Each structure stands twice: as structure tokens, then as C-alpha cells.
Structure 1
Amino acid sequence: MSAATDWRGAAAVDADEAAEAMTAARLGGGARRLLGELLAPYRRALWLLVAVVVVENAARLAIPYLVKVGIDSGIPPIRRDDDLTVLLVVVGAVLGATLLQAVARQLFLVRSGRIGQDVLLQVRRRVFGHFQDLSPAFHDGYTSGRVISRQTSDVDAVYEMLETGFDGLVTAALTLVGTAAVLLFLDVELGLVALLCGPFLALLTNWFRKSSARSYRATREKVALVIVHFVESMGGIRAVQAFRREPRNQEIFDDVNEQYRAANLVAFRLVAWFMPGIRLIGNVTIAVVLLYGALLAYRGDVTVGVLAAFLLYLRQFFEPMMEISQFYNTFQSASAALEKLAGVLEEEPDVPEPTSPVALPTAHGELRFDHVRFAYVEDRPVLPDLDLVVPAGQTLALVGTTGAGKTTLAKLATRFYDPTGGRVLLDGVDVRDLTSDTLRDHVVMVTQESYLFSGTIADNIRFGRPGATMAQVVEATTALGAHDFIAAMPDGYDTDVANQGGRLSAGQRQLVAFARAFLADPAVLILDEATSSLDVPSERLVQQALRTVLAGRTAVIIAHRLSTVEIADRVLVMEHGRIVEDGAPGDLVAGGTGRYSALHDAWVESLA
């Protein structure tokens, strides 16, 4: 068993996805649609580029013919009467064709580069925006490695095809067809001899095409393993170091990296056979044409100029064969990338925007769950039939065992998910009838992750209200008891939080997250285990501040720490998605026989 065996399960989705995308040798429907949408604004510019490429190749194809004219028509007069007119005209024409070719190439590179960059900008915007619009249900099953791959390597693969692929293909096609036509025009017999290499080129190219397709699929599968292992190892670096997992992770990475190297070596070996093979066929053909052409010239059937033109054209004829093979790899990469990008962009959000949204300029904060049913997996409901009303301004605490449905209830209130049955209403309006902007203005959720973004502490606090002044930021942190520790930081509120808030303790990160929510000033505030990472002194500070923060707004607190629950007006005990107890904390404790009372007694004993 290889070192990567225990890793392949985690990377299987990425490897399978890469392999499936590579199986198609042509653009699928979604990819064609996406490519058409991206290029639609540039149709006229693309036709202009095609014309430029045609002019460039016509100029290039004209040069060997002009050489033939110069040899056959320009040199004999020099020997007879020293008339240089024809030769000078031919030389001037060659220089003109060369200049035209250079200008056309420069124009193509500038215009195609601009179009490529515009397309790159457009597709990155679309993919990033769509990833943000997709619901958490999508992101739960889509690994971070795949997200990164879509925005980097896949977009770059599309750009490479736009930048060099189509140019290479059009140039190769024009060169092959044009050269064959000119050769037959110059001399049919010698042209047919020169084109005898065609079947050998076709066989070699077809072998390379099939072999490189298999090799390319293999390299994409292996690089998927490398990317996923690297991303998840670095993302979970604290756990890796805490459990001294570095040697094992290095062993796994070495194994998948070696597999990737081996797959690339196979690809390099294919190129090492194909490129010399093309050159071998080309040089043999040139030798045969030179030998047979010399015989025809000796007999007077062809001129020296025709023979010279043949040799120059044959040099041009074989170069595009290599470009076509390279384009095939570029095309495979781009088609696979387009398929994956199109697949992401065609994903419909599980929580779509309403077609006829209801305006809710202000909210009082009443939450109602009307016969709500929800299941992550069909036939296994988390909430079988929930009826609940949370009056505006009430602080409700949810307690219960893991899997009781507490966090699911919170996710439905924030519309991270939609119920599979029933309705969730905010002030009597179904949340599905509210735009995401309206709902986010009125309902905010703080989780135990307390994710902080790169930037300053002040930037993170303003996250939900970018236009807030520094005075408002300070007011929020002061209310929560976070101002003192922020002011003591090296740069105060301008201190960079580093990677995901690495410069702050878990408790400090949570306080910043609370300040962020407080500054957003929602009508409904949901705290999902939001105090779980706080130490006792920090928790006491937050509990004191929460009474102020929660005043005048609806709050739903999900917590295992009963010290947090004590500030609630009402407690719900949930089991298997159902409410088994409902009442004020003091009343439930005073009953002495219920589940909350038992939880409270156990908590008191733990404090002792």
C-alpha cells in the first residue's frame, strides 16, 4: 500500500472530476456556450484578427515564391547584360513581404493580448461572483482545492488557448493548405513527391494525439491530488502541528508528488518521440525532394528557382505539425477548464433570489417557524415539523444534544438553507420573498469560527457596515469590552490581524466578531456557540456586554455553556428536531424534573 492510500479518499472527488473533464476530446455544450458568451462582445475584433493572420501567412508564403522568381528571372539577366531591375524588384518585394508579416504579427499580438486579458478579467469576475452567490450547501461539498483550481489553473488554461492556441491552429492550417497548393502549382510531379510524407505525418500525429490524451488525463489526476493535499494541509496546519502529523503529511505529499512527476515524465517522453519524428520525416522528405528535384532540373523539367522554392516551402511545411500537436494539448486543457468553469457557473443557488421581492425597510424582529421541515439527506429529517414563534425583542436560548437541530434552525432563519416544507417568516414575511441584501441587513449570525479577513482590526469590525466611522467602531468595541485590548495592540485599530486573525487569541477574535455584529445593528442576532472559544474572564465581559447588545432586538442563542443561557428570556430544549421543553430559565430550573433542570444541576456541580 502506497503512502497516499489514506489520502486518495479525500482527493477522490478532485481526481474523478479532473478525469471526467479530460475524457472529452472536444468542447461540450456547456463549454461551447461559455466560450461563446465570453467571445460574443469581440466578434468584430476576432474577424479582424483572422484577417490579420491571413495577411501575415500570405506574406510569409509569398517569400519562397519570390525567391524562385528572383533566381529564375532575376539572375540570368545579370549574366547576360548586368540588368539588375528584376532582381532588385524581387528583393524589394521580399523586404516588403517581410515588413508586412512583422506589422501583421505585431498587430495580432497587441489586439489578441488585449482581448485575452479582457476575457480573463470577465471570467474571473463571473466565477468569483457566482461562488459567492452559491449557498453553503454547495460549498459544503466543494473542496477548497477545487475552488482555487477554478480561479487559477482553469482560467489560465482558457487564456493560453485564446492567446496562442487559436493563432497556432489557424497559422498551421493556412500554412499546410497554402504550402500544399503552392507546391502543386509550382510543379505537380515534384509536389506529389513532396506530399508523399502526408500519410506518415498523419500516422505519427494520430498516435501522439491519442497517447497525449491519456497522458494528459493522468497528469491532471495527479496534480489534483497534489493541490488538494497541499491546500488542506496548510489550511489545517495547527492541527497538523498539534498532532505532530508533519512526517506523515510529508510522506503522503512526497508520494503524490512522485506520481505527478512520473506522469509528467511520460508526457515528456511522448514529446521526445514526436518532435524528432516530425523532424526525421521532414528531413527525409527534403532529401528526397532535393534528389528527385535535382534529377528533374538536370533534365530541364524544373528550374533551379522552383527547386529552391520547394526546399524553402518544405521547411515551412513541417513546423506547423509541431504547433498542431501543441495546440491539441492546449485545446484539451482549455476544453476541460471550460467544462469545469461552465459547470460551476451553471450551478443554481439552493436559495435563489425572489422573482418578486417584498420590501422590508425596517424590521421589528419577530421570527416564526410555520410547520418547518428540513432534511440534509432525503428521508432523514433534522426538523420533522417545527412550530415556533420568537416575539420581537425576545432573547431565546436553544439547548440540547449535538444533532438536535439547533444550528439547523439558525441556518434556516438566516436562509443559508431553505426549508423542505413549511415557512420561515420575519415579521410575517416569508424569508424567501426577501432579497439577500434585505435579509442580511436585518438578520446577522455570529458563529464559533469568528473568521477574520486579511486587513486591520478596524476593517474587520466594519465588515458588515463598511461606511461606519471610527467613532462608531470604537463605540461598538467599548460596549463589548474589546476596546482596551485593541488599543493595547502595536498599531491599535490599524493592527493587521494576519492570516485569519493569527495575531489575536481565540477570545479576542470572538470579541472582534461580536463587535462586527453589533456595529451591523441587525433586528435579529443569532449566536451559534459564539462564546465557546472565550476564556472565563472574556466570557464574563461578553455576558455583561450582551445584555446591552441584545436589548431591543431579537436574539437566538445556541450554547452548551449555561452561563450564556442565563441571560435569555426563554429557553427551548430540543431533541431530534423537536421542542421538548419551553420556558423561562428560572421556571425550568425550579421545576426540578425536566431536562434543562438536569443540565443546570450538572453545570453547577462542574463549577464546584
Structure 2
Amino acid sequence: MSGATHSPRPARRPTDATADDATRLDSATSKSVRSRSLRLLGDLLRPRARSLAWAGVLVVLATLGQVAGPWLVSLAIDDAVPALMDGDASTLALVGSAYLVAAVAGGLCAGAYVRAAARIAQSVLLDLRRRVFRHTQLLSLEFHESYTSGRIISRQTSDLEALRELLDGGLTGVVSSLMLMIFTGLTLFLMDWRSGLVLAAALVPAWLLTRWFQKHSQVFYREQRTTSARLIVKFVETMTGMRAVQAFRREPTTEAEYDRLGEEYRDANLRIFSVNGRYQPGLVLIGNVAVAAALAVGGWRVYSGALDVGVLVAALLYVKRFFQPIQQLGMFYNSLQSAVAALEKVSGLLAEEPTVVEPRRPTPLPQARGALHLADVTFRYGDGPVILPDLDLAIPAGQTVALVGTTGAGKSTVAKLVTRFYDATQGRVLLDGVDVRDLSTTDLRRAVVMVTQEAYLFSGSVRENIALGRPGAPQEDIEAAARAVGAHDFIMAMPDGYDTEVNKRGGRVSAGQRQLLSFARAFLADPAVLVLDEATSSLDLPGERLVQRGLQTLLADRTAIIIAHRLSTVDIADRVLVMEHGRVIEDGAPADLAAGDGRYAALYAAWRDSLV
């Protein structure tokens, strides 16, 4: 089927599965996704173990500097001030100096920790961005034909941005907050265990409130990530297909759809803010009540002589400080939920496996001749219907073969198998007697090149776009390739010649010129097999004639497969194969088939009538 694509199969469940079975399945899937995400995080952090250990030392030292403050205040009140009243100022000076040293050391260690954590975070993000980009390029065409570009962009933008926010600020904050809570609680219990019990009692409602917050925010953050991705996908698809949108006057419809998705994204954010609006004030209330309780209990004990004033002051400071990190942990949990959802999506993308895999022990083919043989090939897209039923086709080296037929006949599928964008479901595709599945990607891409209808030009100069066929080619080879296909003259007429910048998709050149540049790229690559998939279908007649001259040179002395609806392109072929429902129903020279009474003769007559 020409240009056929397929979508991933939806997961199917047994029809007799109970609700409990479905729940267990969902739970198992969730655990599997979580485990996959944690493995990815572990892979990213493992090479940075030493840096993480150093950051851990710094955060411990910074926390000790902060926790020492209230204890030193209690010493100053209970010991240094009475000694000063007795005329001894050395104790106060010693305690004051210790307080200053602890504050300075804590601040310096905190700053060093933030910098060290930032370096780790940025290193992890850079590694992850590279992995996503590299892995996406390695995935097979089957993936890219089913996984929309908007979703991939969402992985590289909003999902990685959520991870950046977590690693840059949230992670550093939560580690220091946890350390501060642990050291504060331990110090308070060591100083006065009764005040520690007051703090422990206050932890119960704080824990319950935090669990409520976690339960609700987890759901809402997943909704936010999903609606964000849908919004990005809609925007990317609309911008990419703007010509179709404007040509069919779909602006109101697309705007309404975008507004609906934007409202869903807004509502998801509002639900998150609503939960936060309950959680943070609740923590503040619990903290204030805890301070009041500690003051009441401690004040009575001071009045009765069971507790020193300095210890009471330190206890109040510790209780107050203890609840400040809990609020930070709540804010961190917001970032964590968003980042976990993002990490699950990114790990899911990285878990995608190529359907076309590199052979473990490739057969070398340094100099291909170009002989092709599709030996008893059967092909279907996924679990879809059979597209090519038992096709056996041999193409000698150096022969130009044209594939014609109606849309869906299987022409482009043959091209995808020859170029190994897909693998045959059954049978083998042989190049010079070697199964293409046994060839390295380097050898196969050097031997077989496809030129498509789109003739994609990347942002950059004309020279860079032609050199894509052979990176590092000298200027004389690039110019020779352009001259060979008839592109040199119009290139030299451009403002900067070969250094002229082309816009995205080749906006500075016409469709015919863009196609000639893609031919020059293919000529420079000098493949043994050239596949032209509808390479002239978008051109007008003058543009087609321009390209035809380039084709004559391009196809010389190499095997070529031409897929075309326009039979003018077919005239230069040595052999025509008429396909229907994945089978070859006619095979012969163009003139012989045109003179007959078969399917090609009817197509040829119809084409001739259309010219008149």
C-alpha cells in the first residue's frame, strides 16, 4: 500500500476479566512504569556517585551549622549571660564566636552544596536530552509514522523542563529540608525530650494532611501533564499544517479546539492550586499550634523551675524551624509529581525498541553492485492486512525499474523494504545476494538511497544540504554533483551561490529546484541503488522537464526503482512493473506494455489523453 502507515495496537484485555483483574493489571502496569522510571534515574545518577557523595557531605555540614544556632542561643542565655553578670565576659565571647563560625560555615557549605547540586542536575539533564535525541533518531520509521511529532516535542520541552525544575531547585531544597528536620528533631529530643514529645504529637496531623495532599495532587499533576502534552501537540500540528488550515478555512475550528484544550489545561492547574491552597495554610496552622503548645508546656516548667529559660527559647526556635521545611517539602512534592509524570513519559520513549535492528555480526558489503531480489516476501504493517502477498521480484544490477499502479497497490511498501525502513514479515530482501537484515546500517545507507516527494532541505546553506549525501565532501565534488543534475546554474544565480541560506523546507527555492538539490545530494552520495518515491509528483510541467534532465544523469549506471503516477517519468525506465493489491500483474518494457491491451496500456492512454 503506497504510503501506508499504521498505529500502535490498543491493549486488549480478556473479555472475562473481572474488575479486580483489571485493577491488578493497572497496578502491575503502574509498578512496572515506576520501576522503569527509577531504573532510568539510577542510570543517570550512578556515574555521578562521587559528586553526589560530596554534595551530601556539604549539606550535612550546612545543616549542622543551622541547627547549632538555637543550642548556642540557649548556652548564651543560661550560661554566658549569668557569667557576664558575674564579670566573666569570656563565656559570652566564646559562645558568640561559635555562633558566628557556625553561621558562616553553614552559609558557605550551603552555597557550595547548591552549586554542586546544580552541576549534577545540569549534567543529568544534558545526558537525558542527548539520550532522548539519540534514541529518537535510532527508532525505526514505524515508530515515527505512529508517534506524532508533537508528542516527541513534548518529551524534549515540557517534560524535560519539569525535570529541570525538580533537579535545579526542588531536589536541593528537599535534601536540605529533610536534613534540617532530622537534625532539628534529634537535637530537640537531646535538649529536652518533653518538648520533643510536643513536636512528635504535632507531626500526626501534619502527616495526615501531607498524605491527603499527596493522594490528591498526584492525580491532578498527572492530569496537568496530560493536558499540557495535548495542548503542545495541537499547537505543533496546527503550525505544521498551516497551509491546509488556511486553505480549507479551518481557523475557527482549530481555534475552538485549541481553546478547549487550553481551558482543560487551565482547569487542571486550578485544581492543583486548590489543593495547595489547603495544604500550605494547614501546615502553617499546625506549626503555630505546635509552637503555642511548646510555649505553654515549657513556660509552666520554667515557672516551676524544671526547665531553664535558654532551653525553652531553643525549643521554641526548633519547633518553629521544624515546620518551615515541611512547607518546602510540600512545594517540592508539587515539582516531584510533575517530574515523576514527566520521567514516566521520557522513560517510556526511551523504552521503545527499534523494529529494524542492527545485526550483531553484519556481513560486509563495501562495494555494492546493486542487484536486488525480493524473495517470496510477505509483508503487513503490524497486525493489519497483508500488503504484499508472497512477492518474488528480481532486479538486475544497473536496471531502472518503474513501479506503477493505483494508490494502495504496494509500491511505496516495496521501496520501504528495499531501503530497510521496514523488515519483511516473511521472506528476504537481498542486495547482491546478502539479506539486508545482515548488512550494517552504514553499508546499507551507503548502497541504497531514497529520494522522496518532499525533498526536505534543512536550515543551512545550499552547500551543506547537498553535502548531506556525503559529509565532508570537497567543494569541487559538490559542484560536480550539482552540474550533473542541472542545478549549478540556478545555484550560482542565488544571492550567495552555494553559501546561500535556505529556509526551513527550502523556502528560498522552487519545488523543481528543491528536487534538483535533493538529486544532487543523492548523486554526491553515489549509491548503487536509488529509490525515487513520487519524486516528481508535486512539480508542474516546466519543473518536471527540468527535473527529467537531471534524472537522466542521476540514474545512469546504477540500479533504480522509480515510483510515479506520472508516466512521463516512466519513459526513462528499462522495465515497468504494474502492481495491484501487492502483486505484479504486468512486467515489461514501457513501449511494449503501452502497445498492448493490458492495465498499463489503459493507464498510458489515459495519461496521453490528459495531456491533450
CA offset at residue 379 of structure 1? 5.9
Please tell me whether the aligned partners of residues 512 and 546 of structure 2 are also in contact (alpha carbons under 8 angstroms): no
CA offset at residue 315 of structure 1? 2.1
Distance in 1, matches of 2:562 and 2:161, equals: 45
- Residue in structure 2 matched with residue 58 of structure 1 by the alignment: 64
Q: Find the partner of 1:307 among 306, 309, 312.
A: 312
Matches within 5 A, 1:352-391: 352-378=357-383, 380-391=385-396
Please state whether the residue corresponding to 2:392 is helix, strand or coil: strand
CA offset at residue 289 of structure 1? 2.0
Please tell me whether the aligned partners of residues 66 and 90 of structure 1 are also in contact (alpha carbons under 8 angstroms): yes
Please tell me whether the aligned partners of residues 510 and 533 of structure 1 are also in contact (alpha carbons under 8 angstroms): no
Residue by residue over 1:486-543, the C-alpha shift from the partner in whole angstroms, topping out at 9 and shown as x without a partner, is 2222222222211222222222222211111111111111000001112211211221
Please tell me whether the aligned partners of residues 78 and 310 of structure 2 are also in contact (alpha carbons under 8 angstroms): yes
Please tell me whether the aligned partners of residues 26 and 332 of structure 1 are also in contact (alpha carbons under 8 angstroms): no
Residue by residue over 1:66-89, the C-alpha shift from the partner in whole angstroms, topping out at 9 and shown as x without a partner, is 1100111000122222x1111111
Residue by residue over 1:246-298, the C-alpha shift from the partner in whole angstroms, topping out at 9 and shown as x without a partner, is 22212211221122112111211221221122112212221232233222212
Residues 1:262 and 2:267 are matched in the alignment: yes
Residue by residue over 1:219-254, the C-alpha shift from the partner in whole angstroms, topping out at 9 and shown as x without a partner, is 122212211110100111111111122222122112
**CA RMSD, 1 decimal:** 2.0
Please state whether the residue corresponding to 1:28 is helix, strand or coil: helix
- Residue in structure 2 matched with residue 248 of structure 1 by the alignment: 253
- Structure 2: gaps of 5 or more residues: 1-6, 11-25
Please state whether the residue corresponding to 1:513 is helix, strand or coil: helix
CA 52–121 in structure 1, closer or farther in 2 if over 3 Å, else same = same
Matches within 5 A, 1:392-471: 392-471=397-476
- Residue in structure 2 matched with residue 16 of structure 1 by the alignment: none
Q: Find the partner of 2:510 among 495, 498, 505.
A: 505
Moved more, 322-331 or 456-465: 322-331
- Residue in structure 1 matched with residue 602 of structure 2 by the alignment: 598
Residue type of the partner of 2:591? G
Residue type of the partner of 1:606? S
Please tell me whether the aligned partners of residues 68 and 305 of structure 1 are also in contact (alpha carbons under 8 angstroms): yes
Distance in 2, matches of 1:262 and 1:590, equals: 68
- Residue in structure 2 matched with residue 344 of structure 1 by the alignment: 349
Distance in 1, matches of 2:287 and 2:317, equals: 12
CA 550–26 in structure 1, closer or farther in 2 if over 3 Å, else same = closer
Please state whether the residue corresponding to 2:86 is helix, strand or coil: helix
Q: Find the partner of 1:49 among 43, 52, 55.
A: 55
Distance in 2, matches of 1:210 and 1:26, equals: 20
CA offset at residue 24 of structure 1? 5.1
Residue type of the partner of 1:175? L
Distance in 2, matches of 1:66 and 1:219, equals: 46
- Structure 1: gaps of 5 or more residues: 1-9, 14-19
Residue by residue over 1:176-233, the C-alpha shift from the partner in whole angstroms, topping out at 9 and shown as x without a partner, is 2322222222222233234321122112111111121122122122212211110100
Distance in 2, matches of 1:500 and 1:92, equals: 68
Residue type of the partner of 1:54? V
Q: Find the partner of 1:123 among 125, 128, 153.
A: 128
Distance in 2, matches of 1:170 and 1:115, equals: 14
CA offset at residue 27 of structure 1? 7.1
Please tell me whether the aligned partners of residues 117 and 172 of structure 2 are also in contact (alpha carbons under 8 angstroms): no
Residue type of the partner of 2:348? G
- Residue in structure 1 matched with residue 225 of structure 2 by the alignment: 220
Distance in 2, matches of 1:495 and 1:52, equals: 53
Q: Find the partner of 1:69 among 59, 75, 81.
A: 75
Moved more, 43-52 or 95-104: 43-52
Moved more, 556-565 or 39-48: 39-48
Please tell me whether the aligned partners of residues 459 and 504 of structure 2 are also in contact (alpha carbons under 8 angstroms): yes
Residue type of the partner of 1:148? I
Please tell me whether the aligned partners of residues 368 and 447 of structure 2 are also in contact (alpha carbons under 8 angstroms): yes
Count of equivalent residues: 589
Matches within 5 A, 1:81-160: 81=87, 83-160=88-165
Q: Find the partner of 1:493 among 495, 498, 502.
A: 498
Distance in 1, matches of 2:302 and 2:582, equals: 95
Please tell me whether the aligned partners of residues 59 and 110 of structure 2 are also in contact (alpha carbons under 8 angstroms): yes
- Residue in structure 2 matched with residue 335 of structure 1 by the alignment: 340
Distance in 1, matches of 2:484 and 2:119, equals: 52
Taking only the aligned residue pairs, the percentage that are identical comes to 54
CA 246–503 in structure 1, closer or farther in 2 if over 3 Å, else same = farther
Residue type of the partner of 1:504? V
